[in-house]
Amino acid sequence: MRKIYTISRNASKLIVFECRTLNHMKKIGINSFLLSSGFTTADLPMIEQFKSWGADMIELAIFEPEKVDVRALIQSLEKAGMEDCPVCGAFSPDRDLRGTEEEQQNSLTYVSQLIDLASEIGTKVVAGPLYSSVGRCGQHTESEKQQQSDLVARNLSTLCAKAEKAGITLAMEPLNRFETDFMNTIDQATTMINKVGSPALKIHIDTFHMNIEEGNPAEAVRMAGSLVGHVHASGSHRGTPGTGHVDWLGIFGALKAIDYSGDIVIETFTTDNKTIARAASIWFQRFDSPEQLVRDGLRFVRDAWQKA
């Protein structure tokens, strides 16, 4: 936040007669999962498509970094005026920082590639559920939970060391209980950050998951404070933001209160995207079309941010 003073000059002295607080409008964007199961060079036209629908930027959900022509991506982003677009990871069963040695190494290699890609395109954020494969759910003893926590912390420390050198923030996303058994709440994410002890590690909040897991999402955001590093604005039913029951004004008010300075990204999925639809349990679509969701969602989020 920044205080703006309106002043008037009267003879030799200045008179301050108004003081108000402004929060600059954030960049509001769309996650590429809306139209693609994993952003590749073939998806470059999506950048201009999202721009034509009103997006300030695109969040690049990249499943296979080797399928992205980085030079062509940079050129497309620059042409669209969408520099500094965040990168989002996708964690399949073979990528798991608490899994087998092979799964751990796969995830370490993958996130390292995302850090390199983010650095090349000039962005500062790599986000997503970095700690585990999505969909891994089960019961564990307290001893097993501690072992997994120690393992994830050790692997995140390795990734954070690389991220710190590159000037990249790793924003890890708590997911709801049906998508992971490891990290469901902002408080759990805060505990992991304190355990790792790296300034590169932050929290990626998602209003969809918070709507399920947080008793008071706005208060959770306030408690996290400066640890919030990235935001997904997702409907409570994965539909167009504003059509569900997320406490938008409360959450956005909390983000303003902690002086959040990052982007806000709308994330949802179509039923046409079969791979992602199954992974996210999207059995029927909650909006008319991708264009309708983007245009209406952006309009709502911008308006709610201004009102908060």
Dihedral sign (CA 115, 293, 57, 40): positive
Tokens coding 61: 């959900």
List pLDDT tens digits, range 82-124: 989 999 999 999 999 999 999 999 999 999 999 999 999 999 9
Helix (H) or strand (E) holding 192: helix 186-196
- Which residue(s) pair with 228 in the sheet? 203
Q: What is the mean pLDDT of the chain?
A: 91
Please tell me the predicted confidence (pLDDT) of residue 25.
58
Please state, in angstroms and rounded to a whole number, the distance separating the CA atoms of residues 130 and 258: 24
Please tell me the predicted confidence (pLDDT) of residue 106.
98
Please state, in angstroms and rounded to a whole number, the distance separating the CA atoms of residues 20 and 70: 43
List pLDDT tens digits, range 171-193: 999 999 999 999 999 999 999 99
pLDDT at 3 over 60: no
pLDDT at 4 over 60: no
Query: Helix (H) and strand (E) counts for the chain?
Result: 10, 10
Q: Which of 105, 136, 112, 107 is nearest to 126 (CA)?
A: 112
Superfamily per CATH, domain 25-307: Divalent-metal-dependent TIM barrel enzymes (3.20.20.150)
Please tell me the predicted confidence (pLDDT) of residue 24.
54
pLDDT at 275 over 80: no
- For 188-198, b/e burial (b = at least 16 CB within 10 A) is bbbebbebbeb
| pTM of structure | 0.90
List pLDDT tens digits, range 11-57: 444 444 333 344 455 899 999 999 999 999 999 999 999 999 999 99
Instruction: Decide if 131 contacts 99 (C-beta within 8 A).
Output: no
List pLDDT tens digits, range 113-122: 999 999 999 9
Please tell me the predicted confidence (pLDDT) of residue 45.
98
Please tell me the predicted confidence (pLDDT) of residue 239.
86
List pLDDT tens digits, range 202-248: 999 999 999 999 999 999 999 999 999 999 999 998 889 999 999 99
Tokens coding 262: 């990052």
Please state, in angstroms and rounded to a whole number, the distance separating the CA atoms of residues 219 and 232: 17
- Residue 62's φ and ψ, nearest 5 degrees, are -110, 120
Tokens coding 299: 């309009």
